[in-house]
């Protein structure tokens, strides 16, 4: 009798989810699994929106951003009766293993599901915030960084043309990884992230000195978690005396065709996820650390706090002072 496995995407969408779905389906099928697809994330588990995977369903999705399986945030999944309904839906289809592509909230939900009904799962980290503990990389980050880079490079054209300052607010929830990395890659003069203390007096003195020395424009990259986008824009206008504009990039950062790096990472994570289930792992999260691939138990991921690489923080520190 074929082994049953279902794949779902959950939480915020990110580029790389579709390549991960495609590879997981193909590799699991090679391993003899009867593969199903769950539409609409955790809500789809509850509502039984589960279909057998076919070649047509996963054909032509490699280059698409977002998730063709769609996603949802389902408060109902916190209720044991709804989780029981999800379990019955899987049981009726002969599915006894899951792969979830998402963030730590999705992993916690599936871990509770495992504790309730013993359905093992493998988690693939996918969030542009790059804020999952235990892994240096999550699917979608490289694509998001390239979207930000292109936007900042375009904004620089206008900034230099009008000798203005531009504040660019990027996503990341409470994590400053996107802002910090983008500021370094794009040559920003100011970077504010939750992980670094900033000193506006020091920043102001530095920028005024640069302007007196011939600088014609200023770029500032701010993480949404600092809640400083509006304030910094007004501060540049009032304290430095330079005309400033705020650009909030918003959800454009989540979309776009996955970069080569995200596609390859998706393949490697997907293969690792299937292999971990084959090896009898029950609730492991795939991770990439210090250049190597592996997996960690959910507790090691959920109970730890993600920390940005200290070397990146040192590189960006001068931009906050």
Residue with tokens 């799962």: 121
Transcribe 212-241 into DSSP letters.
HTT---EEEEEEGGGT-HHHHHHHIIIII-
d(CA 64, CA 16): 8
Q: How far apart are the first and last CA of the chain?
A: 64
State the CB neighbour count (10 A cutoff) for residue 6: 28
96 annotated active-site:
no
d(CA 62, CA 278): 25
Closest CA to 116 of 150, 88, 145, 154: 88
Instruction: State the catalytic residue, choosing from 129, 131, 142, 262.
Output: 129
Closest CA to 303 of 97, 111, 71, 83: 111
Q: Annotated active-site positions, please?
A: 129
């Amino acid at each position: 009798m074929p082994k049953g496995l279902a794949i779902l995407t959950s939480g915020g969408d990110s580029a790389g989810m579709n390549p991960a779905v495609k590879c997981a389906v193909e590799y699991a099928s090679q391993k003899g699994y009867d593969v199903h697809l769950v539409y609409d994330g955790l809500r789809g588990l509850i509502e039984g929106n589960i279909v057998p995977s076919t070649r047509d369903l996963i054909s032509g999705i490699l280059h698409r951003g977002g998730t063709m399986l769609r996603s949802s945030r389902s408060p109902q999944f916190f209720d044991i009766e709804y989780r029981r309904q999800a379990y019955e839906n899987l049981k009726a289809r002969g599915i006894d293993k899951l792969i979830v592509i998402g963030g730590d909230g999705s992993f916690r939900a599936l871990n509770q599901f495992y504790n309730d009904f013993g359905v093992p799962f493998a988690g693939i980290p996918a969030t542009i915030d790059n804020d999952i503990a235990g892994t240096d990389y999550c699917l979608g980050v490289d694509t998001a960084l390239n979207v930000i880079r292109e936007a900042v490079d375009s904004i620089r054209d206008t900034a230099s043309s009008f000798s203005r300052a531009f504040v660019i607010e990027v996503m990341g929830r409470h994590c400053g990884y996107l802002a910090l990395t983008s500021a370094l890659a794009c040559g920003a003069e100011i970077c504010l992230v939750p992980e670094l203390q900033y000193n506006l007096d020091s920043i102001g003195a530095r920028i005024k000195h640069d302007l007196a020395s011939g600088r014609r424009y200023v770029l500032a990259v701010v993480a949404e978690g600092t809640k400083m986008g509006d304030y910094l824009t007004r501060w540049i206008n009032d304290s430095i005396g330079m005309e400033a504009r705020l650009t909030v990039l918003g959800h454009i950062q989540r979309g776009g065709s996955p970069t080569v790096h995200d596609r390859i990472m998706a393949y490697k994570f997907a293969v690792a996820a299937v292999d971990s289930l084959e090896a009898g792992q029950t609730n492991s999260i795939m991770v990439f650390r210090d250049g190597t691939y592996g997996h960690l138990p959910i507790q090691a991921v959920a109970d730890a706090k993600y920390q940005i690489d200290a070397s990146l923080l040192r590189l960006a520190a001068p931009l906050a002072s």
